[in-house]
Amino acid sequence: MIEISSVWRTVSITAIHRQTRTIKSFFLALGEPFLHVAGQFIDVRLTAPNGYQAVRSHSIASAPSRNGMLEIAIDRLENGEVSSFFHDVAQVGDLIEIRGPLGGHFTLEADVVGPVLLVGGGSGTVPLMAMVRQQVVVGRDQAVGLLVSTRTWDDVVFREELLSIEKTMTDFNLTLTLTRAPAGKLEYFNRRIDAAMVKVALDRLKCFPEHVYVCGSNNFVNSAVERLIESDVNSSSIRTERFGG
């Protein structure tokens, strides 16, 4: 059962970790169990001394657990008042307000069976990472493929963790493409996602996906879905999450 909560609660930032030049992870201590499903998000509310409030939604990056800890990864946006606060002002020990978990469409329940293909563009990898981590925790034999498109090698969010999972998780396959830099390795690509690249990701999955999740900017999602359908992926199996213009 997918839980959704609209209650605001105050939580503490317990750690901050830089993922890329524009993305930082923030680890939040909730003080009580937080039973989300991979793919859900939270709202964050900041309140200025004059009473002005800003609310933004952020995907949950951590796998579901009962330890009362949560990870969100925030991309610094140009003129973004909330993302600028987190990147320039927020410190360990600060208190912030959140509500959630929220969202019920773009979710992968832990008991779902059948092969899964995840497609992410840039920071769109964040909710997909929760899904990958969930599969690691569950430990069930289930084919999972992740196709990530990002600008450069240094912009690959969760890069080292993903490479480690690829080495240790037999049924996990990572396909990576860099759009603004040479790939550096023969097994990676250096262009935007196309039908040929989707075919490689499907071949690495070794079976046709029953569940497909695509997350990224609006243009990225539109293009990726078109390439998937061109590759005979059933449109009814595709779920999408979009952000930005």
* pLDDT at residue 6, as a whole number: 87
* pLDDT at residue 67, as a whole number: 79
* pLDDT at residue 185, as a whole number: 60
CATH number for the domain including 234? 3.40.50.80
Residue 49 CB-density burial (10 A; 0-12 exposed, 13-18 middle, 19+ buried) = exposed
Give me the phi and psi of 100, to 5 degrees please. Answer: 145, -175
pLDDT bucket at 105, cuts 50 / 70 / 90: very high
Same domain, 231 and 132: yes
Assigned token pair, 48: 């200025």
Give 176's contacts (C-beta < 8 A, 6+ positions apart).
147, 148, 150, 156, 183, 188, 189
Same domain, 164 and 200: yes
* pLDDT at residue 1, as a whole number: 67
Same domain, 187 and 86: no
Q: What percentage of the chain carries pLDDT values higher than 70?
A: 97
| pTM of the predicted model over 0.95 | no
Q: What percentage of the chain carries pLDDT values higher than 90?
A: 72
72-97 pLDDT, tens per residue? 999 998 888 899 999 999 999 999 99
pLDDT bucket at 11, cuts 50 / 70 / 90: very high
Indicate whether 108 belongs to any domain.
no
State the average pLDDT for the chain.
91
Could you tell me which residue, 139 or 114, shows the higher pLDDT?
A: 114
- Check whether 186 has a pLDDT greater than 60: no
Count up the domains in the chain and report the number.
Answer: 2
* pLDDT at residue 245, as a whole number: 47
Same domain, 82 and 133: no
Instruction: State the average pLDDT over residues 112-136.
Output: 93
CATH number for the domain including 12? 2.40.30.10
Domain that residue 213 falls in: 116-243
Give 134's contacts (C-beta < 8 A, 6+ positions apart).
38, 63, 64, 108, 110
